[in-house]
Amino acid sequence: MLDSIYVGMSGLSAFSKGLQTISNNVANMNTPGFKTSTPQFEDVYYGQRFARNTPGAPALMPYGSGVDYGYASLNMSQGDIRNSSGQLDLAIQGNGFLTLLDGGTPRYVRTGQFTAGTDGFIEDAVSGFKLAALDLSGKPVPISMTDRQISAPKATSVVKFTDNLSPGATDFSIPDVEVYDATGGKHKLTIAFSPDSSIMPGRWKVTVSDEKGLPVTESSLQFVGGIVMPGADTIDLTLTSADAPPLTLKLDFSNGVTNFSAGSTSTLRMADQDGYAAGTLTTMSINDAGQLEFQYSNGKTDHTDSIAIANFADPQQLIQTGKGLFDASHASPPAYGASGRDGAGRLLSSSVEASNVDLSREFGQLILIQRGFQASSQVVTTANEMIMQLFQMRGQS
């Protein structure tokens, strides 16, 4: 009967630990990226005693000594994906884990709320570990925001024009042609055209003036058969400024500029120019390649390497350590991939993965554990009563 008490006590202990697991699941129902655990119980056979000596029967037979709390198996099913207000918040739709670097030690999460740290690296707001991307060799390395807050300016080198300059027009000008110097300063040019057929038919005089109306250069264009004469379809000029180095650029009329008669109406216009001002970071998002992409106020973009997504052959080998982190020190090394490739899920920006806690399932488990605990308690009570009866019988005898 003492053995029965110990068996009942093992049940009380095991079901208490199971209750702790269920309680932890319920408590984390609103924790982003949390994965529930399912209690797993194991029968216990400590001793052996002789079995009946019958033909074919074993000489020894183990006897049950109760139950033990074996382990808690992780439920790796995906939680709901929810939108968030953080531009650097990330979630994975599908398989895989985001990789964080704790110094040189990798940690893994299913979701993360990231910020730009004081050292310029992108780090998890909860743990402080650095988000990793894949370098050219496929190794996870921390992502740096250094030099990504500003998009450097680029000086204009070529201004391209297109459409028609009608020979029926006496004078024509294109105002407010914007170009940029090496410091990102913007300059507005006016380009005036006037027919000059005194030397040769189809010739036009071209005068370039700055925003103050001062002439910068004078040159000419020669049309033959309605198109600009090859080899004479560009004009070089240099702008000077007190705030920037001299800007040398080229006006290019070789791309579809024509000289066909259209009365007094000309449609010649600037098609493109390759310079731009400095830009400040406006938004961040994940592109189709799984890269963190930066958009700037000057219309330019930049991006990091592809964010590292780790795939494990057996995610059950991971250990949940708190703060949404998983430890993989006892698991087989993961295979790294990018968003939507190599078996990895798709990265979603401005999103977080909610907990996968199912309250109805947890309450069902809670009822089963409660009944098990009550039954084990009843076993202990009954065994204790039987022992007391023995003591009473001994006293009566």
- What confidence score (pLDDT) does residue 54 get? 63
Q: What pLDDT, on the 0 to 100 scale, is given for residue 270? A: 96
> Is pLDDT of 396 > 90?
no
What is the average per-residue pLDDT within 295-301? 93
Nearest-CA neighbor of 84 among 58, 57, 115, 47? 115
Name the nearest CA neighbour of 95 among 358, 355, 340: 340
Contact 241, 247 (CB under 8 A): yes
The CA distance from 309 to 345, in Å, is 8
pLDDT at 241: 84
pLDDT over 60 at 397, yes or no: no
How far apart (Å, rounded) are the C-alpha atoms in residues 302 and 281? 10
Residues 6+ apart with CB under 8 A from 217: 207, 208, 235, 236, 237, 238
Render pLDDT for 166-176 as a digit per residue (tens, 0 to 9): 988 788 999 99
Which amino acid makes up residue 75? N
Which residue is it, tokens 């979603």? Answer: 348
Mean pLDDT calculated for residue range 98-112: 92
pLDDT of residue 55: 65
pLDDT tens for residues 227-286? 999 888 999 999 998 888 999 999 999 988 999 998 888 999 999 999 999 999 998 888
The percentage of residues in the chain with a pLDDT greater than 90, rounded to a whole number, is 66
Residue matched to tokens 């500029």? 257
pLDDT number for residue 79? 93
| Whole-angstrom distance, CA of residue 341 vs CA of residue 241 | 50
Residue matched to tokens 């700037």: 296
Q: What is the pLDDT of residue 71?
A: 87
Sheet strands side by side (includes 291-296): 150-151, 279-286, 291-296, 301-306
CA atoms within 13 A on the CB side of 84: 21
On average, the pLDDT of the chain sits at 90
- Helix, strand, coil shares of the chain, percent, nearest 5, are 15, 45, 35
Taking residues 97-115, what's their average pLDDT?
Answer: 92
Residue 366 scores a pLDDT above 70:
yes
How high is the pLDDT of residue 170?
Answer: 80
Do the Cβ atoms of 310 and 261 come closer than 8 Å? no
Q: Which residue has the higher pLDDT, 197 or 196?
A: 196
